[in-house]
Amino acid sequence: MSRKVIIAGNWKMNKTVEESIALAQDVAKEVSSVQDVTVVVCPPYTSLYAVSQVLKGSNVKLGAQDVYFETAGAYTGKISISMLQSCNVEYVILGHSEPRQFFGETDELVNKKVKVVLAAGMTPIICVGELLEEREAGTTEKVCETQIRGCYADVSAADAAKTVIAYEPVWAIGTGKVATPEQAQDVHAYIRKLLADMYDTDTASKIQIQYGGSMKPDNAKELLGKEDVDGGLIGGASLVAEQFKGIVIPA
């Protein structure tokens, strides 16, 4: 089955409202002719509404970088799913390695958020990936399996089919050390086999698996050329419209 490529820009903690508006305008212009790729930008929360206005009528979708699983109440500093819905958000990044490393994100927490995002009819982008020492110890597959089983606990096949996974080897994030296309393909194929075991081959074949970690215009084509690499989650290169375009439309 052919899966549509999905390229998402994770702006992380970058861009003021004014800078976000300018970048979103540039991205929308650069990719305006693109039809065969789903393009998503994920600005910081403070820019979501402003960027949603810029993207109206464009072919660029809006994503958020996280959400809290509770619906409302005394959760200082958190953002609810209905707040994201009111900003026209369609995608939510969950379980990124930075919140996992710095802010106590666990698979259990991600699982609760996945359910909230799916219940709202939005698409979770669920991030998994191993640390350098885990790769060196040969436990990459085990680490990804634990994360995926945890994040998908009690998620039905029908719902799982609506999710996106981002395989992001932590040693490749922001380091300029990209996984080789073969390394990426090996883990993506493993993840798809795992999903087929957890659900069924039809469900597994529907789930788009992005690669993330130092993806740039000069390595995107080869990575995206691999059978099970269905897109990219882009950090650094998503902050410059021309570079982002170079990944969406690799030369």
* Binding of ligand PGA by 99 (CB under 6 A): no
The DSSP bridge partners found for residue 208 are 164
The DSSP bridge partners found for residue 37 are 5
Nearer to ligand PGA, 134 or 168 (CB): 168
Known catalytic residue at 188: no
Which residues, numbered 193-222, are part of the site for ligand PGA (CB under 6 A)? 212-215
* Binding of ligand PGA by 173 (CB under 6 A): yes
Of 94, 229, 234, 247, the residue at the interface with ligand PGA (CB under 6 A) is: 234
* Binding of ligand PGA by 43 (CB under 6 A): no
Nearest to ligand PGA by Cβ — which residue?
Answer: 235
Stretch that binds ligand PGA, among 14-22, 52-60, 166-174, 190-198 (CB under 6 A): 166-174
At residue 211, the 3 state secondary structure works out as strand
Of 81, 235, 243, 249, the residue at the interface with ligand PGA (CB under 6 A) is: 235
Instruction: Provide the strand spans (E) within the chain.
Output: 5-10, 37-42, 60-64, 91-94, 123-128, 164-167, 208-212, 231-234
Q: How far apart are CA 210 and CA 231, in angstroms?
A: 4
Taking the alpha carbons of 21, 11, 89, 241 in that order, is the dihedral positive or negative? positive
* Binding of ligand PGA by 243 (CB under 6 A): no
Q: Total number of residues binding ligand PGA (CB under 6 A)?
A: 13
* Binding of ligand PGA by 105 (CB under 6 A): no
**Nearest distance, CB of residue 11 and ligand PGA, angstroms:** 10
Nearer to ligand PGA, 203 or 241 (CB): 241
* Binding of ligand PGA by 132 (CB under 6 A): no
Q: How far apart are CA 193 and CA 124, in angstroms?
A: 20
Instruction: Output the DSSP codes for 7-58.
Output: EEEE--S---HHHHHHHHHHHHHHTTT--SEEEEEE--GGGHHHHHHHHTTS
Instruction: Give the gyration radius of the chain's Cα atoms.
Output: 17
Stretch that binds ligand PGA, among 83-91, 193-201, 220-228, 229-237 (CB under 6 A): 229-237
Name the residues annotated as catalytic.
96, 168
Residues that bind ligand PGA (CB under 6 A): 10, 168, 173-174, 212-215, 233-237
